[in-house]
Amino acid sequence: MEKPVVTQAMINAYDEYTHLTLDRRAFMEKLTKLAGSAGAAAAIAPLLSANKAVAEMIKPDDDRLEAKDVTYPGTSGDMKGYLVRQKNVSAPAPGVIIIHENRGLNPHIRDVARRMALEGFVALAPDFLAPLGGTPNDEDKARDMFGKLDRTMTVSNAEASLSYLANIDGVNGNVGVVGFCWGGGLANLFATKSPELKAAVAYYGMQPPIEDVPTIRAALMLHYAGLDDRTNAGIDAYRDALAANNKTFEIYIYDGANHAFNNDTSAARYDKTAADLAWKRTVDFLKKNLA
């Protein structure tokens, strides 16, 4: 059987479904029209969505790492998270907060935290759905929950996560953040609010209110996918505001890449070349700004 052909229109429809207005039924109806039949749509849909079965580059029991679920104080109750560090490290290391997509703290983001720990950081992946009971296994339910989060409380929980991580034994006190998709937008917003954040990396994240740019203290690295028209619409205004306010920032646009190009669990949208380059740039940037 030939591998189904995934077109850009199909990827755009999936992006509309996961980020804008489509519900599952409407998405499948649109995908069926694009694919030509219900059978073809059923074969293509898994290629567009994330596959938990391929979520791990670094195994949870990797003997180079110490990884555990943690609970710490949040704004209005306990926050939950996943904390990872290398074993047998004597010198203090920088801390990095990993902020999930609009699927919550899932196996993929836990894996990203392990990857970051192997780069020499103490990584914390908070579950920002903790105030609503935590990330469910059903990704559609998880996406629905994000609309119920209070933005001010969410930013405060990011600050609580920073405070917790900065004060862990073995952390040098310097903390950065890396966010993906929804988490990229939160990384941008968090940078406008936090006086303690040293560095922020946003992968295809929505830009913060331009009027808040003057309050940014962290160095910024912004990764965008060339085909991500929805997110990219705000790049120019954000760049101009950052430059006008003399902020430290780097912007990279990866031609031919789609939104979520870093997520290796999504076969249709993952772009290994862009992901590898963005990751190297991210790690180098964090090492420079969190030393």
Secondary structure of residue 85 in the 3-state scheme? strand
Distance (Å, whole) CA 186 – CA 205: 8
Q: Which domain holds residue 26?
A: 8-48
Distance (Å, whole) CA 219 – CA 200: 6
Contact between 10 and 35 (Cβ < 8 Å): yes
Distance (Å, whole) CA 136 – CA 129: 9
Instruction: Please tell me whether residues 67 and 27 are part of one structural domain.
Output: no
Residue 225 covered by a domain = yes
Distance (Å, whole) CA 138 – CA 134: 12
Confidence (pLDDT) at 28: 76
Say yes or no to pLDDT of 1 above 50: no
Number of compact structural domains in the chain: 2
Say yes or no to pLDDT of 164 above 80: yes
Secondary structure of residue 72 in the 3-state scheme? strand
- Radius of gyration over every alpha carbon of the chain, rounded to an integer in angstroms: 19
User: Which amino acid, 171?
Assistant: V
Asked which of 28-42, 90-104, 173-187 is least confident by mean pLDDT, the reply is: 28-42
Instruction: Please tell me whether residues 206 and 135 are part of one structural domain.
Output: yes
Tell me how crowded residue 250 is: count the other CB atoms within 10 A of its CB: 12
Beta bridge partners of residue 104, listed in sequence order: none
Instruction: Please tell me whether residues 118 and 14 are part of one structural domain.
Output: no
Count Cα atoms within 13 angstroms, Cβ side, for 98. Answer: 27
Nearest alpha carbon to residue 253 among 230, 283, 274: 274
Nearest alpha carbon to residue 190 among 174, 209, 171, 173: 209
Residue 141 covered by a domain = yes
CA 24 to chain CA centroid, nearest Å: 22
Asked which of 54-63, 93-102, 197-206 is least confident by mean pLDDT, the reply is: 54-63
Say yes or no to pLDDT of 139 above 70: yes
Label residue 40 by pLDDT band (50, 70, 90).
confident
Say yes or no to pLDDT of 146 above 90: yes
pLDDT digits (tens, 9 = 90+) for 173-197: 999 999 999 999 999 999 999 999 9
Say yes or no to pLDDT of 213 above 70: yes
User: Which amino acid, 209?
Assistant: P
Instruction: Please tell me whether residues 104 and 224 are part of one structural domain.
Output: yes
CATH number for the domain that contains residue 257: 3.40.50.1820
Q: Is 251 exposed, middle or buried (0-12, 13-18, 19+ CB in 10 A)?
A: middle
Give the mean model confidence (pLDDT) for residues 16-20: 71
Place of tokens 């073995």: 170
Q: How many residues does the chain have?
A: 291
Mean pLDDT of the chain: 91
Say yes or no to pLDDT of 170 above 80: yes
Nearest alpha carbon to residue 132 among 157, 165, 159: 157
Instruction: Please tell me whether residues 36 and 173 are part of one structural domain.
Output: no
Instruction: Please tell me whether residues 32 and 108 are part of one structural domain.
Output: no
Say yes or no to pLDDT of 43 above 90: no
Percent of all residues in the chain with a pLDDT value above 90, rounded to a whole number = 75
Say yes or no to pLDDT of 224 above 80: yes
Token digits of residue 96: 């990095």
Instruction: Please tell me whether residues 75 and 102 are part of one structural domain.
Output: yes
Instruction: Please tell me whether residues 252 and 132 are part of one structural domain.
Output: yes
| Identity of the highest mean pLDDT range in 18-32, 197-211, 254-268 | 197-211
Asked which of 30-39, 158-167, 184-193, 281-290 is least confident by mean pLDDT, the reply is: 30-39
Instruction: Please tell me whether residues 88 and 113 are part of one structural domain.
Output: yes
Nearest alpha carbon to residue 257 among 242, 246, 272, 247: 272
Residue 2 covered by a domain = no
Confidence (pLDDT) at 20: 64
Helix (H) or strand (E) holding 8: helix 8-19
Asked which of 112-116, 137-141, 251-255 is least confident by mean pLDDT, the reply is: 137-141
Asked which of 54-63, 98-107, 194-203 is least confident by mean pLDDT, the reply is: 54-63
